Chain A
Amino acid sequence: MAWHVAARADEVPENEVIGVVVDGEPVALYKLGGVLYATSNVCTHEFALLSDGYVEGDCIECPLHQARFHIATGEVRAAPASEPIKTFPVKSEGGQILIELPEV
């Protein structure tokens, strides 16, 4: 596991999602109630970027077919997806957002 810089801390607005690519991995970064979260940015149902979707409460809704995932755990909350999305450890340090990715 290694920590990677994903974005500047001020780049993620409250209750929003942004898409970044970290070490080749498409990652969605969220801020909910001041807390940062990071998940895979690709829906597990069909290819779509979750960062083009919509944050509803503690879930992210895919723009393609409206599958919904729990941001903190990656669990599926609404079909048509059935596989969870990956989540990554995330922290804010020195004005930067860092996420931890498995070593390839």
Chain B
Amino acid sequence: MARDETFVIVGAGQAGGRAAEAMRAVGFAGRVVLIGEEPSLPYERPPLSKAVLTGDRPASTVELLPPGFYAQKGIEALTGTRVEEIDAAARTARLSSGRTLGFTKLLLATGGRVRTLPFALPGMPGIFYLRTLAESLALGAALRKAKRLVVIGGGFLGLEVAASARKLGLAVTLLELKPHLLDRAMAPEIAHFIAEIHRRKGVELHLGANVIGIAGKEKLAAVELAQGTRVDADLAVVAVGIAPNSELAAAAGATIGNGIVVDEFGRTSLPDIYAAGDVADHPNPILGHRLRLESWQNAQNQAIAAARAMCGVGTPYAEVPWFWSDQYEFNIQMVGAPLKTDEIVVRGEPASGRFLCFNLAGNVVVGATAFNMGGEIRFARKLVELKARVERRILSDGTKKLRDVVAALSPSPA
């Protein structure tokens, strides 16, 4: 590989950082330039709604790679820098610093930005959003001074913030527009278990709650619902999802779908321009359809796959989607595509706090959710990978090891 090549990575989150690392790991000897808008080097976001938010973990522990890594590997990290424009034909990127950078290949790892509510915008008194480390630290400081929190949005982020706030002793009300929590992520029958956990922990849940405004000028007083009710609050956290940052790619002429459209090697419709992570609308050969994932696994592994492809040693990215969330003492892990579900089979006793839910489509296992049974997730993943047909009585029988169920299906276990 030629030393005179320049690979530019736009976006210095988990995807960007892992891509840079992977380029060096496979021996790419050219220039690697990693460009990010945030002031910090790449860090991991999962703790921002949990241990960093509660103050149990210092901010310094979220760094993706050890200090000195970038210098040691000859990776030029430009923080606090935005890429304003990409000229795909000339192969140049114009930076907010005024510089123009030429590239041989470029990876878009631009991630997403929070969706906002027009009446509760970032920066308004008592209104918080959570995406960045700075936002996590600011919210954590505010939570420690507040008594009543309203969380708007019952997705994973909203639920994790609610759990963290309960841990800090706040009264928490969570408002979700849909009739179920986690509407975009899981089947209602499984989301129901999570709702029960939060109710037991003292969170006041309002499902089907349509938030239409806020009250309070100098400081927040309440959140207003369409039903005419008001929920008093010192703070409100808005967690209503993210939108992919695909504008830069669109302006450069790349095909956009639900994010930047890429193939299984991370290639966009533009030559030598790749995309990975939260922003990438990519095919999943195991599931048999395209999707855009906002997960730690995808940010890391799809970025590595794209980086390797850029270096000429690519293999198609094909993993069963996997996701985790930590709320209170519950570690919740999901594999597969649990939305396409005809039936849920429960294994174990939900009241015990340790159980598994399988999602069946027809007779095929298409997904699973584990509550405090992460050790079983690898076997559940195998069932999804194999598109296994397992009798319901076997799936629900917690006395048999899942490992043996998998072993009976395939010649080599797990």
Question: CB-CB < 8 A to A64: which residues of B?
Answer: 324, 331, 374
Question: CB-CB < 8 A to B51: which residues of A?
Answer: 46
Partner of B378, one of A54, A79, A80: A54
Partner of B66, one of A56, A65, A82: A82
Q: Are B374 and A66 in contact (CB under 8 A)?
A: yes
Partner of B375, one of A52, A79, A80, A82: A52
Task: With both chains docked as a complex, state the minimum distance between the C-beta of B243 and any C-beta of chain A, in angstroms.
Answer: 26
Q: Are A53 and B375 in contact (CB under 8 A)?
A: yes
Known A46-B51, A56-B414, A65-B324; judge A79-B374 contact (CB<8 A): no
> How distant is the Cα of A52 from the Cα of B354 in the complex, in angstroms?
13
Q: Are A79 and B331 in contact (CB under 8 A)?
A: no
> How distant is the Cα of A56 from the Cα of B379 in the complex, in angstroms?
12
> How distant is the Cα of A2 from the Cα of B79 in the complex, in angstroms?
49
B70 close to chain A: CB less than 8 A: no
> How distant is the Cα of A46 from the Cα of B46 in the complex, in angstroms?
12
Question: CB-CB < 8 A to B359: which residues of A?
Answer: none
B245 close to chain A: CB less than 8 A: no
8 Å CB interface, B54-70 against A: 66
Q: Are A63 and B375 in contact (CB under 8 A)?
A: yes
Partner of B374, one of A63, A80, A82: A63
8 Å CB interface, A78-97 against B: 79-80, 82
Known A63-B374, A65-B324, A66-B374; judge A80-B44 contact (CB<8 A): yes
Partner of B300, one of A52, A63, A79: A79
Size of chain A's interface in residues, with CB distance under 8 A? 15
Most buried by A among B66, B326, B375: B375
Task: With both chains docked as a complex, state the minimum distance between the C-beta of B347 and any C-beta of chain A, in angstroms.
Answer: 16
> How distant is the Cα of A65 from the Cα of B378 in the complex, in angstroms?
11
For chain A, what secondary structure do more than half of its interface residues adopt (helix, strand, loop), or is it mixed? loop
Task: With both chains docked as a complex, state the minimum distance between the C-beta of B344 and any C-beta of chain A, in angstroms.
Answer: 22
8 Å CB interface, A15-61 against B: 46, 48, 52-54, 56, 61
Question: CB-CB < 8 A to B326: which residues of A?
Answer: 46
> How distant is the Cα of A102 from the Cα of B375 in the complex, in angstroms?
30
B296 close to chain A: CB less than 8 A: yes
B311-325 to A contact mask, C-beta < 8 Å, 1/0? 000000000001010
> How distant is the Cα of A53 from the Cα of B333 in the complex, in angstroms?
14
Task: With both chains docked as a complex, state the minimum distance between the C-beta of A46 and any C-beta of chain B, in angstroms.
Answer: 7
> How distant is the Cα of A56 from the Cα of B51 in the complex, in angstroms?
29
Question: CB-CB < 8 A to B377: which residues of A?
Answer: 66
Q: Are B296 and A80 in contact (CB under 8 A)?
A: yes
B368-404 to A contact mask, C-beta < 8 Å, 1/0? 0000011101100000000000000000000000000
8 Å CB interface, B25-80 against A: 44, 46, 51, 66
Question: CB-CB < 8 A to A61: which residues of B?
Answer: 378
Question: CB-CB < 8 A to A48: which residues of B?
Answer: 331, 374
> How distant is the Cα of A80 from the Cα of B377 in the complex, in angstroms?
16
Question: CB-CB < 8 A to A66: which residues of B?
Answer: 322, 374, 377-378
Task: With both chains docked as a complex, state the minimum distance between the C-beta of B403 and any C-beta of chain A, in angstroms.
Answer: 8
Who on chain B is nearest to A49 by CB? B375
> How distant is the Cα of A40 from the Cα of B324 in the complex, in angstroms?
24
B234-277 to A contact mask, C-beta < 8 Å, 1/0? 00000000000000000000000000000000000000000000
> How distant is the Cα of A61 from the Cα of B374 in the complex, in angstroms?
10
Question: CB-CB < 8 A to A52: which residues of B?
Answer: 374-375
8 Å CB interface, B294-318 against A: 296, 300
Who on chain B is nearest to A56 by CB? B414
Who on chain A is nearest to B61 by CB? A82
> How distant is the Cα of A79 from the Cα of B44 in the complex, in angstroms?
11
- Given contacts A46-B51, A54-B378, A80-B46, could you give 13 more A-B pairs where the C-beta distance is less than 8 Å? A46-B326, A48-B331, A48-B374, A52-B375, A53-B375, A54-B375, A54-B414, A56-B378, A56-B414, A63-B374, A65-B324, A66-B377, A66-B378
**Can you report 27 residue pairs joining A to B where beta carbons are below 8 Å apart?**
A46-B51, A48-B331, A48-B374, A52-B374, A52-B375, A53-B374, A54-B375, A54-B414, A56-B378, A56-B414, A61-B378, A62-B374, A63-B373, A63-B374, A63-B375, A64-B324, A64-B331, A64-B374, A65-B324, A66-B322, A66-B374, A66-B377, A66-B378, A79-B300, A80-B44, A80-B46, A82-B66
A residues near B, CB below 8 A? 46, 48, 52-54, 56, 61-66, 79-80, 82
Task: Please name the 6 residue pairs, one residue from A and one from B, whose CB atoms are nearest each other, closest first.
Answer: A63-B374, A63-B375, A52-B375, A64-B331, A64-B374, A53-B375
